[in-house]
A = this chain, B = another copy of it.
Amino acid sequence: MSSGHFKQDLFAQFARVGKALSNGNRLELLEFLAQGEHSVDALAKVSGLSVANTSQHLQQLRQSGLVLSRKEGLKVHYRLSGEDVVELMSVLRRVAERHLADVQQLVQSYLTVKDELEPVPRDELLERVRDDLVTVLDVRPPEEYAAGHVPGAINVPLDELEAHLEQLDPGQEIVAYCRGPHCILAFEAVARLREKGIAAHRLEDGFPEWKAAGLPVDMAG
């Protein structure tokens, strides 16, 4: 049993997962799936890809083991195959951010205020939520909020931020989060709140990382 091929076969299998991560559009689809289950055409809409193309990418993801699908009536719903996929994406992000100058440049030019925002670590937020010291804002679309959110968080999509300003306790600190560590929505929300003189911070990562860390999650209402 020449085990000489074993190593190569095994690495070839690992490479299947690597291949799934080798395309930007697939990574974007994975980030949407990390927010919760989505149908093919919902994913096609948010990603801006054609339906056929989206379907093909999703099938590749399924073959690589990163997602699972479920048919319900006309629709096919895709979801991540486990929380470990969120962890894989997180580590991929971190490695890229640490070792690729282009990523550092992109983050700097689009998320300029990054350093000034003093992001709040997950555990710290959890404590402050328990002690009722902060108002937590979920700035994602309502569907994603409904599929799961940080306990006690209020869903305020970015374009409704101004309308909700008056309902917020101006004395209490605000922490905003969205899809992930590089999601601009939370950055933008914090920037706008600070313009109004409100003490606002950003959660270090987004909801998927919160959930993957095993922290408590609220659904729907």
Chain A residues with a Cβ under 8 A of chain B: 1, 3, 6-28, 31, 64-66, 81-82, 84-85, 87-88, 91-96, 98-100, 102-103, 106-107, 110, 182, 184
Contact = CB atoms under 8 A, between A and B. Distances in A.
A8 B22 contact: no
A24 B11 CA distance: 5
A3 B182 CA distance: 12
10 contacts: A10-B107, A13-B100, A13-B102, A14-B21, A14-B27, A16-B100, A18-B20, A65-B99, A82-B99, A87-B91
Given A3-B110, A110-B3, A64 B22 contact: no
Given A88-B92, A96-B16, A96-B65, A21 B22 contact: yes
A9 to B, nearest CB: 6
A189 B129 CA distance: 52
Contacts of A88: 91-92, 95
B95 A10 contact: no
A95 B100 contact: no
A18 B16 contact: no
Contacts of A20: 18
A92 B14 contact: yes
A141 to B, nearest CB: 15
A112 to B, nearest CB: 10
Nearest to A93: B14
Nearest to A7: B28
A27 B10 CA distance: 10
A106 B15 contact: no
Contacts of A84: 91, 94-95, 98
